[in-house]
Every structure is written in structure tokens, then in C-alpha cells.
Amino acid sequence: MRANFKLKIVILFQALALCLVPSIALAAVGCTLNDPDRDVKRIFPDSTGYKTTFVTIKEKGGEALKEEVEDKLGDKLDNIYETIDVPFAYYDILKGREIIGRIHGVNQKGTYGGMQLIVATDMGGRIIAFYYQKISSPEASKFIDKNFTDQFIGLTLNDFMKDNIDAKDPSKDSSKDFQATKRGLKKNLILLDLLKDNEEAIVKK
């Protein structure tokens, strides 16, 4: 009887461990496009292809770069979901040999689970498209509506740094998800500036 009880305890702990492992693993995974071929053509119909690169804060500057990101963001990065070894995917959109824009996304913690915020920018860092690849919220339909997402088109990192954002919360009771969206978009543009644009500046020199 006692042996059976111990066996049940062991099985219970194993089941809990299996439940926890995916959560831990997902925490360290970056945000990639579910269907890049489709999304690139939809946003950049004149494109002839794209090139994908993966960059981490760790390899580009480590803790010092993390502190710079946090300083610009005005918030601390989460120790589980926003670690310095999370790979960020950048899709350089090509027209012939010319890069005409980029698509890039970030994971952002929302009230009811993780969000995936996908942004397309021109070569000046200006948002030309924004959409949620994933959002868990009772009012998700209000957030994914283009009447809301299109309010961010035309904005740059400078607008977010100066809090020059006119977008209105589309929800009734999900203001935290609205704030999380703005944080995620700001983080996305900061990372673009520090990880990708700086990388190109170094290459050009």
C-alpha cells in the first residue's frame, strides 16, 4: 500500500515536470512568422524574396546591451520571457538585390497569456504594417481589428520614445493589454535599432 502511494507521488511529480518543461522552453523562444512566404508577399507585394537572420542581445552586447534596452524601454526585461539569449528573427525584404523593408516580431506578456506582435518597417524604421500573430484576450477581436492596428502605421521609434502615440485603447476592460501592446511595439523598435540597424552600420564601415 505504501509502495503504491510512493509510486503515485513519483508519477504526479513527473506529470508536473512535463507540464512545466514546455512553459520554460517557450519562454526562451523568439517570435518567428508562421508563414513567412505568405506574409512577405501580403505586406510587400513587389518583393522578389527575403533573407532571414537571427540575433540575440547576448551575442550583440550582453548585459551592457540589455541595460541599454531597459533604459530606452523605461522598464526591466522579464527574467523568464525576455532573457538576453532569446533569438529575434529579422526578415530583410528584397527587391532584386535591394533591401526595401523588414518584418520583425516580439513576444510580449499579456494579461491572459503571451502576445506575438509583428511589425513591418521601411528602411527608415517607420511602421508600415502591424498585426497580432497571437493574442489571448476576451476582447481580442477589438485589438486585431485594423481600425486599431492601423493607428500605429507611420510611427517610428522616436514617437514611442517621446510617447507621441495617439492610438486609443479599443477595449472596454483590457487596458493592461493595450499598455502591453504599446510596450511590445516600443521594445520591438528599440531592438531593431540596437540589434539590426547597428549591425548594418558596422557592415557598411
Position 102 in a domain: yes
Count Cβ neighbours within 10 Å for each residue of 9-41 and write b for 16 or more, e otherwise: eeeeeeeeeeeeeeeeeebeebbbbeeeeebbe
Q: How many domains does the chain have?
A: 1
pTM above 0.95, yes or no: no
Q: Say yes or no to pLDDT of 182 above 50.
A: yes
Count Cβ neighbours within 10 Å for each residue of 175-186 and write b for 16 or more, e otherwise: eebbebbbbbbb
pLDDT reported for residue 199: 52
Position 77 in a domain: yes
Position 16 in a domain: no
The pLDDT confidence band at residue 4, using thresholds 50, 70 and 90, is very low
Position 12 in a domain: no
Q: In what order do the strands lie in the sheet with 98-109?
A: 49-55, 88-95, 98-109, 114-121, 127-134
pLDDT reported for residue 81: 85
Average pLDDT of the chain is 87
Domain that holds residue 200: 31-204
Position 172 in a domain: yes
